[in-house]
Chains A and B, each alone.
Chain A
């Protein structure tokens, strides 16, 4: 593939072309942070934000949770919102 020039009339050329991330950069983490910070700055409460990741109706955020797990999302949410208040026993 790489040694052949792109051809403008190739019908498969434009299917789902994505941006490359630098080697070592976790693309899911970059995007998840964008989602979280964007909503956090709009004043969205933590629980509602987590719901965006859990609900399959929100395809982008849900794909991150499905691929990387709850722990991954919780860690990033905690970094932005601060650690969640724990119940005092």
Chain B
């Protein structure tokens, strides 16, 4: 297998194919701190792409509850367990071997899912979930079971967890693509979106077995596998709404919590992100470093990044997002003026923001976060489309409309 460079692991690794030469890459940042698991994203995706017979158990987008929720059930625990058994006690990071560009989180000294496979029976270490495991996403995951002492009738939560939003990561080194014996899976050079050619697919389910995130799913009615298609007609700009300009996916634009930002980043021949300082995704991932990949140790170089939840035990987060967690939470908890402004771009427009600038505004207040007093400024962030035309302008002090407590619904 040819060696490829995985910057999330800070080292070279073995992959079935050399770098594919994508020029741009689909990427997104999800802010887990602001998700309320309303599942609007889930339903936006479901009602667009997977509402047909045979797709009943398919949720290309899902929001699960952590620590113990998952779709399919136990997906991450199971793959972590397989990896640990294949390389016992050695799945560790060396966070001291860092380089700002080539190894920002340190170096992963364990083995990826490509490296633990024997290469004969499996190209990638994985498993096929049972039908039961695909059933009942969110079943009991965050069911409220405590009752208030004050006699309020609805049960409430007596503790805290967090929600993990998941779609296909459109990985730079997709496990599904490496495992397909039919070469039915391909990664588009124009946007890095990973697709399954339905004409070539024969439903062997090697992709379902290989994808560590379990985002390739078998459809019994067509006897083929299907997966998130990154809403490619929208990303291509062929949706009439934006007159030919790239638009974010359905799950992103439907997000009422404003936790999602998606776009396209430029990548070089080696599969790495090219420097593009004013791209909001590049800024959040490579400059502010507040957003981290999900289970980078799997080795697929996933392209959905997460701002980790601030309140969750760090050991758990380090396993999930790698050793960059402490720095990411520190940077998010005490954000710079620029980070605060860029966070306002989340869900400010349906069009993909290719670049931004921040216009300084007046001081608007002071707050104490941690032990630091921070000055707040009402800066304005301006977003530009692929042709460098202004498409959105948002201030940090966003006007708030508070709905009255007794609102009359459905008065049409």
Query: Which A residues are closer than 8 A to B by beta carbons?
Result: 8-9, 11-22, 27, 30-31, 34, 37-38, 40-44, 48, 51, 55-57, 59-60, 63, 66, 79-82
Task: Please determine whether A27 and B160 come into contact, CB atoms closer than 8 angstroms.
Answer: yes
Nearest CB in chain A: distance from B24 CB, A = 31
B368 (CB) vs chain A CBs: closest residue: A80
State the majority secondary structure of interface residues on A.
Answer: loop
Contacts of B67 in A (CB 8 A): 17-19
Q: Does B150 contact A (CB under 8 A)?
A: yes
For the complex, give the distance between the alpha carbons of A48 and B397 in Å: 13
Nearest CB in chain A: distance from B138 CB, A = 9
Query: Which B residues are closer than 8 A to A by beta carbons?
Result: 33-34, 65, 67-69, 73-74, 132, 139-145, 148, 150, 152, 156-162, 310-313, 316, 333, 335, 340, 364-369, 374, 376, 378, 396-398, 400, 402, 405
Contacts of B311 in A (CB 8 A): 19, 30-31, 34
B376 (CB) vs chain A CBs: closest residue: A43
Task: Please determine whether A20 and B313 come into contact, CB atoms closer than 8 angstroms.
Answer: yes
Contacts of A80 in B (CB 8 A): 367-369
Nearest CB in chain A: distance from B124 CB, A = 22
Task: Please determine whether A16 and B333 come into contact, CB atoms closer than 8 angstroms.
Answer: no
Which of A9, A15, A57, A81 is B367 in contact with, Cβ under 8 Å? A81
Nearest CB in chain A: distance from B96 CB, A = 26
Task: Please determine whether A16 and B144 come into contact, CB atoms closer than 8 angstroms.
Answer: yes
Contacts of A82 in B (CB 8 A): 366-368
Contacts of B157 in A (CB 8 A): 16, 18, 59-60, 63
Number of A-B contacts (CB under 8 A): 104
Can you pick out 27 interface pairs between chain A and chain B where the beta carbons lie within 8 Å of each other?
A: A8-B74, A14-B141, A15-B143, A16-B140, A16-B145, A16-B158, A17-B68, A19-B67, A19-B160, A19-B161, A19-B312, A20-B313, A27-B160, A30-B160, A31-B311, A37-B367, A38-B33, A43-B378, A43-B398, A44-B400, A48-B402, A57-B405, A66-B152, A79-B368, A82-B366, A82-B367, A82-B368
Known: A18-B160, A41-B335, A63-B157. 17 other contacts (CB 8 A): A16-B142, A17-B141, A30-B160, A34-B33, A34-B310, A40-B369, A41-B340, A41-B376, A43-B398, A48-B400, A51-B402, A55-B405, A59-B157, A66-B150, A66-B152, A82-B366, A82-B368
Task: Please determine whether A19 and B368 come into contact, CB atoms closer than 8 angstroms.
Answer: no
A19-B312, A34-B310, A43-B378 known; A63 vs B398 contact (CB < 8 Å):
no
For the complex, give the distance between the alpha carbons of A88 and B333 in Å: 35
B69 (CB) vs chain A CBs: closest residue: A14
For the complex, give the distance between the alpha carbons of A19 and B159 in Å: 7
Task: Please determine whether A19 and B313 come into contact, CB atoms closer than 8 angstroms.
Answer: yes
A38 (CB) vs chain B CBs: closest residue: B33
A60 (CB) vs chain B CBs: closest residue: B157
Contacts of B162 in A (CB 8 A): 19
